[in-house]
Amino acid sequence: MDLLVKNGRVIDPARKIDAVTDIVIRDGKIQLIGAATVPGIPVFEATGLVVAPGFFDIHVHLREPGTEEAETIASGGSAAAAGGFTAVAAMPNTKPPNDNPSITHYILSEARRSSPARVFPIGAITKEQKGETLAEIGEMFEAGIVAISDDGKPVMDSRLFRRALEYALMFDMPVIQHCEDLYLSNGGVMHEGVYSTRLGLKGIPSAAEETMVSRDLILAEMTGSKYHAAHLSTRQAVAMVREAKARRLRVTAEVTPHHFTLTDAAVAGYDTNAKMNPPLRSADDVAAVVEGISDGTIDVIASDHAPHHINLKMLEFDSAPFGITGVETAVGLALTKLQLSMTRLIELFSINPQKIMKVAPWGLFEGSNGDLTVLDLNRNWTFDVNQSRSRSRNSPFHGWSMKGKAVGTIVGGKVVYQDRA
């Protein structure tokens, strides 16, 4: 695919580029960055817009195979593109889970066939995500996984988790943990605090996350493996990662937009779109998450896009499943709620996700894949979940007004999403 991206502010922190200029894409690859007039190829007019290396959401649940009524690879990929993401990494908790290379192959071929955004599969750590024996990690690596995780569930068995870290080290793959001590969370449905008491709902203490992060950091140090903490939500968890980084452990961490925008107060109306795991925490935890983003403790903003069919989210709070959709609101929320430089924002959404997943890098350099995210920093818009490209509607951000939006998503030189004001 050929494309001329005209007159945008092109920014790539990894290549120290920040200039108003053009980008020429030929046959899906960047051919030239600089003032250009190329007759006869399609033009993406980017005057007044920011043009960045394609954004990469490393934490999404696509639900295919197995729960296609909630999301497919095609619908999730389309929603991701509409949120500005040129690539996503898909968590393995499908039905059946991605714990063997035949599922990995299926996801990759279906993504090539139907998803506008690139899809990088994450393999399970354990067979059927049961936490008992290791999955076919080496075979899945050969098939194309970029990381392993049992996300949705933690690996409770410390010995098994040590073995997973050691095994992943042979491929230099990150091990992504959903940090939750199940004995401490013990069937809780929201953050344990004043609101859980007032609402009469069973709480999940911050300690459920923090004890798991603490154990994992000890094992990551012992093994020297790459450890990635998914969706951190508490002050102490962020502090432990900060301290581990200071000691040069190979540790990275992500947070979600809901954990920097919402507190457990959002549960007050028993809104099941405020039910997620880890749960929405206190205002002090939100402040700590934002500090972690600002000071570099947090490497990545990822959505934890978790679509659920409306019938499930209409259950009462105790019975409804955890999780919300997020790929279409993540960038807008970050632009609206965080005071970040463009450099830092692009690191969080593109550069660091690429590094952590060790994918062949893309960016603003000649020969790169023509994968670009175009932002309008001044666009005022309101999220309407009924217009979502996801098959699911479980977002707490319906009706939210935001300033700043992804208005163009370009994959391999093809414009897969565009929103002209």
Q: End-to-end alpha-carbon separation of the chain, Å?
A: 25
Q: Which residues bind Zn ion (CB under 5 A)?
A: 151, 178, 304
Position of minimal CB gap to Zn ion: 178
CB of 9 to Zn ion, least distance (A): 33
110 or 151, CB closer to Zn ion?
151
CB of 302 to Zn ion, least distance (A): 9
CB of 151 to Zn ion, least distance (A): 4
CB of 382 to Zn ion, least distance (A): 26
The pair of three-digit structure tokens given for residue 279, joined into one six-digit string = 């749960």
CB of 259 to Zn ion, least distance (A): 12
Query: How far is the C-alpha of 130 from the C-alpha of 139, rounded, in Å?
Result: 19
Q: Name the pairing type of β-strands 251-255 and 300-301.
A: parallel
Query: How far is the C-alpha of 183 from the C-alpha of 133, rounded, in Å?
Result: 20
8 or 278, CB closer to Zn ion?
278
Q: Which of 264, 304, 371, 376 is catalytic?
A: 304
33 or 117, CB closer to Zn ion?
117
6 or 226, CB closer to Zn ion?
226
226 or 231, CB closer to Zn ion?
231
CB of 66 to Zn ion, least distance (A): 16
Q: What is the dihedral of CA 394, 397, 398, 401, to 10 degrees?
A: -170
56 or 362, CB closer to Zn ion?
56
CB of 1 to Zn ion, least distance (A): 32
151 or 328, CB closer to Zn ion?
151
The pair of three-digit structure tokens given for residue 32, joined into one six-digit string = 């030239």
Q: Is the Cβ–Cβ distance between 235 and 284 less than 8 Å?
A: yes
Catalytic status, residue 304: yes
* Residues involved in catalysis: 304
